[in-house]
Amino acid sequence: MPTASKKVINGWAMYDWANSSYSLVITSTIFPIYYTSVAPEHIHFLGHAFSRAAVASYSISLSFLIIAFLNPILSSIADYKGNKKKFMQFFCYVGSLSCVCLVFMDSTHVVLGVLLSILASIGFSGSLVFYNAYLPEIAAEEDQDRVSAKGFALGYVGSVILLILCLAVIMCNDSLHWGLGAWPARLSFAATGLWWAGFAQLTFNVLPPSKPSEQHPEHSILTNGFHELAKVWRQFVHYPTIKRYLTSFFFYNMGVMTVMYMATYFAADELKLPSADLIRCILVIQLVAIGGAYLFSLLSARTGNIFVLGVNIVIWIGICVMAYFTHTAMQFYGVAFTVGLVMGGIQSMSRSTYSKLLPETNDTASYFSFYDVCDKIGTVIGTSTFGLVADSMGGMRNSVLALMAYFIIGFVLLLFVRMRPQPSVAHAPAHH
């Protein structure tokens, strides 16, 4: 299959430009800071008083739990139905509209804001399932790495541009005494939703209708994805190295994802860092992460994937210790720089290591769907643990120590993983 025209490729990649604004503005920076500033110490919901840190982590847990359940269903639909674009549009508009509606969140509507943030997360992840599924339809195999990289690059640039614009308005309001209160932050949520839906039109206008699969699912499309996951799990009996690696990944990635999602809440709540300092810090993390990913990929070529992953995890354990004893802004910047160094490295190395361990098979989508579910379920458990410890032990500092335990377990399990050639999938039993 030839690669699609430049117009289609550029249009597809622009969706990364459109939706990455959500990741940076809503997930990582302005929303967590704003939430911490308007939410009371304890939020009453369903007859129980939760700490605001616990509510933040539980909301992330819930959104990922829903996504983990939906992803196999959505992947199955994406494979077997020729309507990827319609589903992609639906989730895009759910997510972007939720971001726009966050403008109504204030100190009297905190629960509404939390529910909208959950919907935005579901919209973001749901649309990505179909966005990713388009790649093999528009790019020949030899061009897929290049096309995929183009999307990532555009996503990084677009999200940083929007964040800088939002940050400029917030800082001008503070330093020039515009007297707009929290409106610059609230309007940044609306700007994110409009940016996401607006630039997505460039994608939707050029993406061709998707092709339905020539294969028919053995089960209902609503359950077929789960049967595919079960099939992959049964095959792991014949590939113990993959099974050991995934178990290690499940634990250490649980810690990584929780740190990524909760770091801003920690700095805002525990350290009381000013919002402008926090956002500048997160921009630095993003820039350092690019260099970190490149550094660890060079290191892996010399020493091997497992060694580099082990080094990464040891540094993450050190980050947890540093965070526990962090009390000043300068100390937090040191922690943040270190997080940036290993954040890009451990994510890119984890995925490429898994890819190298896979047997020769045409079922890579099913294997990576399993990897994705491990990632999402781990995030649910990690963020839930973080919230539970913060809620029961009066603060997030002890939650950091709980995360350290996950990194230690992941490191110990990684010691039993050896990068060996896997037997061909032909030696596995026939699928039923």
- DSSP β-bridge partners for residue 218: none
Identify the pLDDT of residue 255: 93
Q: Is 45 helix (H, G, I), strand (E, B) or coil?
A: strand
Q: Which of 296, 426, 288 is nearest to 351 (CA)?
A: 296
Q: Taking the domains of the chain in order of start, what are their residue ranges?
A: 1-213, 223-420
| % of the chain at pLDDT higher than 70 | 90
Q: How far apart are CA 377 and CA 60, in angstroms?
A: 11
Q: Are 376 and 67 in contact (CB under 8 A)?
A: yes
Tokens standing for residue 196: 């996401």
Mean pLDDT value across residues 176-182 = 85
Identify the pLDDT of residue 428: 42
Average pLDDT, the chain: 84
Q: Are 87 and 130 in contact (CB under 8 A)?
A: yes
The pTM for the full model equals: 0.77
Q: Is the pLDDT of residue 213 over 70?
A: no
Confidence of residue 208 (pLDDT cuts 50, 70, 90): confident
pLDDT tens digits, one per residue of 130-160: 887 777 778 776 676 677 767 777 887 888 8
Q: Are 185 and 33 in contact (CB under 8 A)?
A: yes
Q: Are 283 and 401 in contact (CB under 8 A)?
A: no
Q: How far apart are CA 55 and CA 32, in angstroms?
A: 12
Q: Is the pLDDT of residue 188 over 80?
A: yes
Q: How far apart are CA 174 and CA 158, in angstroms?
A: 25
Q: What is the topology classification, in CATH, of domain 1-213?
A: Growth Hormone; Chain: A; (1.20.1250)
Q: Are 242 and 236 in contact (CB under 8 A)?
A: yes
Task: Tell how far CA 429 is from the center of its chain.
Answer: 34
Lowest average pLDDT, out of 252-256, 348-352, 400-404, 410-414, goes to: 348-352
Mean pLDDT value across residues 199-208 = 94
Identify the pLDDT of residue 141: 65
pLDDT tens digits, one per residue of 1-35: 688 788 999 999 899 899 989 988 898 888 988 99
CA atoms within 13 A on the CB side of 340: 19
Lowest average pLDDT, out of 62-76, 175-189, 388-402, 416-430, goes to: 416-430
Q: Is the pLDDT of residue 432 over 60?
A: no
Tokens standing for residue 358: 């896979």
Q: What dotted CATH number matches 223-420?
A: 1.20.1250.20
Identify the pLDDT of residue 37: 87
Q: Do domains 1-213 and 223-420 have the same CATH topology?
A: yes
Mean pLDDT value across residues 324-337 = 88
Q: Which of 109, 114, 95, 280 is nearest to 182 (CA)?
A: 109
Phi-psi label, residue 81: left if phi above 0, alpha if psi -120 to 50, beta otherwise: beta
Q: Which long-range contacts (CB under 8 A, 24 or more apart) does 286-290 make?
A: 286/24, 286/156, 286/160, 286/340, 287/340, 288/337, 288/340, 288/341, 289/340, 289/341, 289/343, 289/344, 289/345, 290/156, 290/344
Q: How far apart are CA 253 and CA 233, in angstroms?
A: 19
Tokens standing for residue 418: 């050896």
362: DSSP letter: S
Helical pair 84-101 and 183-204, crossing angle rounded to 10 deg = 170
pLDDT tens digits, one per residue of 359-416: 776 555 667 778 888 888 998 999 899 888 888 887 788 899 889 999 999 999 999 9
Q: Is the pLDDT of residue 225 over 80?
A: no
pLDDT tens digits, one per residue of 69-112: 888 887 777 766 667 788 889 999 999 999 999 999 998 899 99
Identify the pLDDT of residue 431: 41
Q: How many CB atoms lie within 10 A of CB 18?
A: 26
- DSSP β-bridge partners for residue 49: 44
Q: How far apart are CA 223 and CA 74, in angstroms?
A: 10
Identify the pLDDT of residue 3: 82
Q: Is the pLDDT of residue 253 over 90?
A: yes
CA angle 286, 274, 319 (to 5 degrees): 50
